[in-house]
Chains A and B, each alone.
Chain A
Amino acid sequence: MLAQVIAGGLSAGSIYALVALALVITYKTTEVPNFAQGEMAMVSAFVAYILMTDYQTGFFVAFSVALVFAFVLGIGFEAVILRRVRNPTHLSVLVVTLGFQLALFGLAGWKWGAEQRQFPFPVSANEVIRVGDVSVSTLGVATILISVVLMVGVFAFFRFTKLGVAMQATQQDSMAARINGVPTRRVVGLTFGISSVIGAVAALLMAPVITLDTTLMWDPLLKGFAAAVLGGLNTPVGAVLGGYLLGLVENLFGAYISVEFKSAVAFLMIILVLCFRPSGLFGRHRTRKV
């Protein structure tokens, strides 16, 4: 039973980790969580769905187009909406992301209605791989693998490419980066694009399990946000570890202690972490000089 619960925790945790990572890389540039993240991912999943059902394209085409769409949506959101905010304060940027979230949700509801849809996917959510007494769906295995590969890719990008390093520089000190010749505006836009793609991958992996509708990303976004706070909002590695930790703790708690309070345990953990380590379990404390 324990191994089964851990397997469940890992596959739930993979999604939380992806969403947390997507949130954190934009958080580091704007210092505000992007609450439209979930809805941007949901709309991208719908793009894939429409291509597959209405235009009968294959998985490869549909998913590629959806990810390109997500990238453009992320860049567009930053360039057309966020950058136009006058005298941006944390609060006003936060409100703008909330507004964009509501707008996307309303638009999606109007366009696609509220019915649940079965989301086609190349590997099945119902086909099972059994190892001993542990059973995991092929999709569950794929989710864990894809998210690990994607996250390693993102970290390698930040660490080893020029653009990635420029992004980190912009995140750490935008002014200094600009003085050193980094085109910070373009870099911030790209950050939103990449974040949106990571979110879209999470949505594409979620939709076949929990069915596709406009509320697809509500729970994952909330949990991803919790994971990011848990691990540390300014450390991508911490946020990802926070995601896995949250998935595991929730599942262990639900299976062995109380299923009633399974969801509450995430928020209890956050309160404890914020009391004792305000920068998150893995975050470095940042002090602001006056």
Chain B
Amino acid sequence: MTSIRSRKKLSTALILSALAGLSCAEPDEGGVRGVTDDTIVIGTWSPLTGPAALWGAVGRGAELYFDMINEEGGIHGRQIEFILKDDAYQPSRTVAAVREMVERDGVFAVTAGVGTAPTRAVMDYLTENEVVMVSPATGATHWAYPPKKYVFAQYTPYLDEAAVLVDHAVEDLGKTRIAVIYQNDDFGGSGLVGAQLALEKHGLSIVESVSVEVPDTDLNSHAVRLRESGADAVLMWLTPRQAVIIHGAVGRLGYEPQWLVSSVLADTNLLYELTEGAWAGVIFAAIGQLANSDHPLTTKYREAAARLAPEERAGEFLFAGFRYAEPLVEALRRAGRDLTTESLVEALESLDGFVGTGPPITYRPDHRQGTRAMFLARTVEGGTAVKLTDWIESGIDIEAAIQELEER
């Protein structure tokens, strides 16, 4: 009898302590979810596995950045506890991962979440739960247009990139026949629409647009179509594998247009190596300092990455992770010791021309796209790049461009 009773007591005690443990994750009376005396919980999702795992480096880069901040003593006496979850680039898994982050781990804010579809799948849930989201790692326009209180975008819209590249081709290089090869989805569509609008301004139109399905690996007929169009410049809105395939297929035809490519292909070292050097001469849009830049912050990040994660390839995506988290850390510093969701939003809104390793970032209560700037660069022999411009912006009407994109 006694043994049963004591067992009962024991189990009651266990349940009680488990409940007590659970309630720790909940905010205390008047407390803030994810903020304690000595920690702030920040979360993100990244495709660490699966077909898009190349971009997993973004999440790991953000993690390294917070490790570096913690090493330096954290923010106002608090260490950052960073939660990185793998969603394999599947929106359904992103939803599960983010629910867990909010409801079990109790995150205070999220940053640098990768991918348009994964981010769209969780945006409403995050805003409903008043979780601040800073710098989704995608150049789509769903985040800041229309502005939402808890969502702060940093990535320069793809629409703007395409327009600036086209302006450069027409105004500085004297190209008049421009073709577009694009991935047949929202991402590729942005490149197409941005190019269209910029060309209209110059009284020109696209001479050929060729769409590519994501799994395609045989792009020979795409290459033939581009050559037949006689375009002297081709805008490329693809992911790295297909970029390498089409670049090779076009080169084999003896056809040499000026290539203009999106920031998604800014990892020039990788592409130079994959194309055995043929990538030299390609002009691309960059939305942050390049991985080999001598910018003081980039130098510092490179050293931190080499020290904290020597096995990690020091590519563009890794440092992009650092860059996406910069405005959040700056705002946490500005918000001070009394940290609440409201004070964080206020601090983010106080960023006015804040410069990290990206373009200057400005948020206002009615304005959530931190920047629309980029610089252009050209890949040179050896796989590095030279800057062609300073930070520049396109002149397109973004609201009209979004309208156009939705109607496509």
Q: Do A and B bind each other?
A: yes
* Set A1, A118, A130, A259: member contacting B254, Cβ < 8 A: A130
- Provided the pairs A137-B252, A222-B215, A251-B221 are in contact, do residues A115 and B54 lie with their beta carbons within 8 angstroms? yes
Q: 18 A-B contacts, Cβ less than 8 Å apart?
A: A8-B224, A8-B249, A12-B220, A109-B53, A114-B52, A116-B274, A126-B276, A126-B278, A135-B253, A135-B254, A206-B217, A209-B217, A210-B217, A252-B221, A259-B211, A259-B222, A259-B225, A263-B213
Closest chain-B Cβ to A101's Cβ sits at a distance in Å of 14
Q: What's the Cα separation between A124 and B251 when bound, in Å?
A: 13
Q: What's the Cα separation between A106 and B248 when bound, in Å?
A: 29
Closest chain-A Cβ to B310's Cβ sits at a distance in Å of 15
The reply on B244 being an interface residue by CB < 8 A is: yes
- Provided the pairs A116-B270, A126-B278 are in contact, do residues A106 and B49 lie with their beta carbons within 8 angstroms? yes
Tell me which residues from 320 to 344 in chain B have a Cβ below 8 Å from any Cβ of chain A. Answer: none
Tell me which residues from 209 to 233 in chain B have a Cβ below 8 Å from any Cβ of chain A. Answer: 210-211, 213, 215-218, 220-225, 228
> Is the pair B252, A126 in contact by a Cβ cutoff of 8 Å?
yes
Measured between beta carbons, the chain B residues less than 8 angstroms from A109 are 49-50, 53
- Provided the pairs A8-B220, A251-B221, A255-B221 are in contact, do residues A115 and B313 lie with their beta carbons within 8 angstroms? yes
| Interface, chain A (partner B; CB < 8 A) | 1, 4-5, 8-9, 11-12, 106, 109-110, 113-118, 124-126, 128, 130, 135-137, 140, 206, 209-211, 213, 215, 218-220, 222-223, 247, 250-255, 259-260, 262-263
Closest chain-A Cβ to B43's Cβ sits at a distance in Å of 22
The reply on B350 being an interface residue by CB < 8 A is: no
> Is the pair B221, A250 in contact by a Cβ cutoff of 8 Å?
yes
The reply on B241 being an interface residue by CB < 8 A is: yes
Measured between beta carbons, the chain A residues less than 8 angstroms from B251 are 126
* Set A11, A135, A136, A259: member contacting B221, Cβ < 8 A: A259
Measured between beta carbons, the chain B residues less than 8 angstroms from A125 are 248
> Is the pair B217, A114 in contact by a Cβ cutoff of 8 Å?
no
* Set B215, B244, B270: member contacting A263, Cβ < 8 A: B215
> Is the pair A259, B220 in contact by a Cβ cutoff of 8 Å?
no
Closest to A251 in B: B221
> Is the pair B218, A247 in contact by a Cβ cutoff of 8 Å?
yes
> Is the pair B224, A9 in contact by a Cβ cutoff of 8 Å?
no
> Is the pair B50, A116 in contact by a Cβ cutoff of 8 Å?
no
Q: What's the Cα separation between A133 and B276 when bound, in Å?
A: 25
Closest to B55 in A: A114
Closest to B249 in A: A8
The reply on B74 being an interface residue by CB < 8 A is: no
> Is the pair B215, A218 in contact by a Cβ cutoff of 8 Å?
yes
Q: What's the Cα separation between A34 and B251 when bound, in Å?
A: 36
> Is the pair A5, B273 in contact by a Cβ cutoff of 8 Å?
no
> Is the pair A8, B241 in contact by a Cβ cutoff of 8 Å?
no
The reply on B240 being an interface residue by CB < 8 A is: yes
Measured between beta carbons, the chain A residues less than 8 angstroms from B370 are none
Q: What's the Cα separation between A106 and B51 when bound, in Å?
A: 11
Closest to A223 in B: B218
Measured between beta carbons, the chain B residues less than 8 angstroms from A4 are 224, 253
Other A-B pairs, 7, CB within 8 Å; known A128-B254, A254-B222: A4-B224, A109-B50, A115-B54, A115-B270, A126-B276, A251-B221, A262-B213
The reply on B245 being an interface residue by CB < 8 A is: yes
Q: What's the Cα separation between A255 and B227 when bound, in Å?
A: 11
* Set B218, B241, B270: member contacting A12, Cβ < 8 A: B218
Interface residues on B, range: 35 or more
Closest chain-B Cβ to A44's Cβ sits at a distance in Å of 18
| Interface, chain B (partner A; CB < 8 A) | 49-54, 56, 184, 210-211, 213, 215-218, 220-225, 228, 240-241, 244-245, 248-249, 251-254, 270, 273-276, 278, 313
- Provided the pairs A115-B54, A211-B274 are in contact, do residues A254 and B248 lie with their beta carbons within 8 angstroms? no
Closest to B239 in A: A116
> Is the pair B254, A260 in contact by a Cβ cutoff of 8 Å?
no
* Set A113, A211, A218: member contacting B53, Cβ < 8 A: A113
Q: Which of B216, B220, B251 has the most CB of A within 10 A?
A: B220
> Is the pair B245, A135 in contact by a Cβ cutoff of 8 Å?
no
Measured between beta carbons, the chain B residues less than 8 angstroms from A115 are 54, 270, 313
Measured between beta carbons, the chain B residues less than 8 angstroms from A116 are 54, 240-241, 244, 270, 274
Q: What's the Cα separation between A11 and B275 when bound, in Å?
A: 19
> Is the pair B220, A262 in contact by a Cβ cutoff of 8 Å?
no
Measured between beta carbons, the chain B residues less than 8 angstroms from A126 are 248, 251-252, 275-276, 278
Measured between beta carbons, the chain A residues less than 8 angstroms from B225 are 254-255, 259
* Set A114, A209, A223, A254: member contacting B245, Cβ < 8 A: A209
Q: What's the Cα separation between A86 and B254 when bound, in Å?
A: 57
Measured between beta carbons, the chain A residues less than 8 angstroms from B273 are 118
> Is the pair A219, B254 in contact by a Cβ cutoff of 8 Å?
no
> Is the pair B274, A118 in contact by a Cβ cutoff of 8 Å?
yes
> Is the pair A260, B224 in contact by a Cβ cutoff of 8 Å?
no
Measured between beta carbons, the chain B residues less than 8 angstroms from A254 are 220-222, 225
> Is the pair B53, A209 in contact by a Cβ cutoff of 8 Å?
no
Closest chain-B Cβ to A272's Cβ sits at a distance in Å of 20
> Is the pair A260, B184 in contact by a Cβ cutoff of 8 Å?
yes
Measured between beta carbons, the chain B residues less than 8 angstroms from A250 are 218, 221
Closest chain-B Cβ to A37's Cβ sits at a distance in Å of 16
Closest chain-A Cβ to B212's Cβ sits at a distance in Å of 8
- Provided the pairs A116-B270, A259-B221 are in contact, do residues A213 and B276 lie with their beta carbons within 8 angstroms? no
Q: What's the Cα separation between A152 and B248 when bound, in Å?
A: 30
Q: What's the Cα separation between A158 and B357 when bound, in Å?
A: 63
> Is the pair B56, A114 in contact by a Cβ cutoff of 8 Å?
yes
Closest to A109 in B: B49
Q: What's the Cα separation between A116 and B215 when bound, in Å?
A: 15
> Is the pair B221, A5 in contact by a Cβ cutoff of 8 Å?
yes
> Is the pair A210, B245 in contact by a Cβ cutoff of 8 Å?
yes
- Provided the pairs A128-B252, A209-B248, A210-B245 are in contact, do residues A8 and B218 lie with their beta carbons within 8 angstroms? yes
Q: What's the Cα separation between A209 and B276 when bound, in Å?
A: 11
> Is the pair B228, A1 in contact by a Cβ cutoff of 8 Å?
yes
Q: What's the Cα separation between A133 and B358 when bound, in Å?
A: 46
> Is the pair B221, A262 in contact by a Cβ cutoff of 8 Å?
yes
Closest chain-B Cβ to A240's Cβ sits at a distance in Å of 17
Measured between beta carbons, the chain A residues less than 8 angstroms from B274 are 116-118, 211
Measured between beta carbons, the chain A residues less than 8 angstroms from B248 are 125-126, 137, 209
Q: What's the Cα separation between A4 and B253 when bound, in Å?
A: 9
